[in-house]
Amino acid sequence: MKVELLSIGDELLIGQVVNTNAAYLAQALNKIGLEVSYVSVCADTKEAIIEALTTAHSRANLLLVTGGLGPTKDDVTKESLCAFYDDRLEENPEVLAHIEFLFATYIQTPIRPANRTQALLPTKAEVLKNEVGTASAMWFTHKGVHAVFMPGVPREMQHLMESQVLARLKSMSSLIIRHRTLMTYGLGESAIAERIEAIEEQLPPELSLSYLPNFGRVRLRLTAKDRSEALVAHGLAHYGDLIAAQLSDIYFGEEEDGNLAAQVLKAAKRSNMTIASCESCTGGSIASAFTEIAGASAVFAAALVPYQTHQKSALLGIDVALIENHSVVSAPVAEAMALNTRLKTGASIAVSTTGNAGPSKGDSDEPIGTVFIGISTEAHTYAQKFMFGNLRERVIEKASLKALEMLYREIVK
């Protein structure tokens, strides 16, 4: 089974929108044993769509296409399909009734002629009703190639996949694909490769290993593909554990168990601890990372974001003299932020950040990129200094990740 994804849309070709649909589809297909060989993006023109369909039909036997099914003039996918499949549009009464129902019930504005045209559908396609929107999905089977066309709005596409498409595709696959991604910190990919060379050489043919470096962390992804569930499960467990043991000093968890914030929450829950954060330069992004995770409220108590300098005194009672003597970006201020937050919230552990994310220096003389991260527990309170470069969003992201890493180390020790 050769599978391709095609996204139609100028917004992707000009970089206005990032192609998250492709990532969602690839993950969903992997889970039912289908591998994607190509992802493509083409323009919103008839010529581009027909050219992309021609190329994809020559390479694949399953094609999932998203985008270009809206009611406005810039959406030309349906007429391109008619040209490509030598078909014509015909009004589908059931779809028209559904669109009228959606307008009457949810949208509560009068239905427009443009919306009625969404019920015009190619006659050779099987129509998949879109319960949550007005653009139907279409399934063509042509010269042995299955091609499923879905709207590009992520929520509608995902609903169609989960309610109808995936169940039908599942029967087309007999392969099992599973990934296991080990997360490490503090060592480069070539140094890691050297340490696990002997294990990598032993990997059986159903397993492959990839290195994913970013932000000074390397993730090691083991992928297992086979028809046997037992072989796949054994391979990931056995070789993953071998690698984790070989890298025990730099290995800190599995990506499939959730990101670093999720692992911190789990570790804290096991230790019966609660967490609070006090964020100046990270501006709430640590709290945000925790609270995205379902069930966070069992562990994550609260956050304070005393962003302007004087708020550190107003919200946390930090001595103005301490800030004046050491500057707001300093270890003593980071320590006071963590300590006062822990005491104020009653959490078992608190983390704090204060730094210059740039582009201008703010209320301190430290160079841009300087961040102090503080930790306070009942046993001790300390702060560490870091330099995270001079790109604002990267400083915030790196400081948040490092704060999570320091929390994790403190909680598991």
Among residue numbers 286 through 345, which ones bind a second copy (CB under 8 A)?
A: 286-288, 290-292, 294-297, 300-308, 311, 314-315, 344-345
Minimum distance from residue 383 beta carbon to a second copy (Å)? 20
- State whether the Cα torsion 239-243-246-252 is positive or negative: negative
Scanning residues 43 to 102, which ones bind a second copy (CB under 8 A)? Answer: 43-44, 48, 51-52, 55, 59, 70-74
Q: Rule CB under 8 A: which of 105-164 touch a second copy?
A: 107, 109, 112, 114-115, 153-155
Choose, by CB under 8 A, the member of 11, 79, 206, 254 that binds a second copy: 11
In the complex, least distance from residue 346 CB atom to a second copy, rounded to whole angstroms: 7
From the CB of 358, what's the least distance to a second copy, in Å? 7
248-282 residues labelled b (16+ CB within 10 A) or e (exposed): eebbbbebeeeebbbbbbbbbeeeebbbbbbbbbb
Cα separations (Å) of 89 from 50, 156, 159, 174? 17, 22, 24, 36
Q: 29, exposed or middle or buried, with CB in 10 Å at 0-12, 13-18, 19+?
A: buried
- Closest CB to a second copy among residues 287, 404: 287
Measured distance CA(159)–CA(150) in Å, rounded: 10
Strand, coil or helix: 352 = strand
Site for a second copy in 159-198 (CB under 8 A): 179, 181, 187-191, 193-194
Out of 61, 217, 284, 322, point to the residue binding a second copy (CB under 8 A). Answer: 284
361-380 binders of a second copy (CB under 8 A)? 362
Cβ 46 to a second copy, closest distance in Å? 14
Do residues 46 and 179 touch, judged by C-beta distance below 8 A? no
CA 376 – CA 27 distance, rounded (Å): 39
CA 287 to chain centre: 17
Contacting a second copy (CB under 8 A), which of 1, 2, 17, 100?
17
Given a contact cutoff of 8 angstroms between Cβ atoms, the answer to whether 240 and 182 are in contact is yes
List the interface residues with a second copy, window 205-264 (CB under 8 A). 208-214, 221, 223
- With contacts defined by CB under 8 A, how many residues of the chain interact with a second copy? 106
CA distances from 109 to 101, 104, 106, 113, 221 (A): 12, 8, 9, 13, 49
What are the tokens at 228? 């046997």
223 vs 330, beta carbon nearer a second copy: 223
| Shortest distance (Å) from residue 73 CB to a second copy | 7
Q: Shortest Cβ distance from residue 126 to a second copy (Å)?
A: 25
Burial of residue 320 (CB within 10 Å: 0-12, 13-18, 19+) is exposed
For a second copy, which stretch binds (CB under 8 A), given 121-129, 166-174, 330-338, 391-399? 391-399
Cβ at position 41, least distance to a second copy in Å = 4
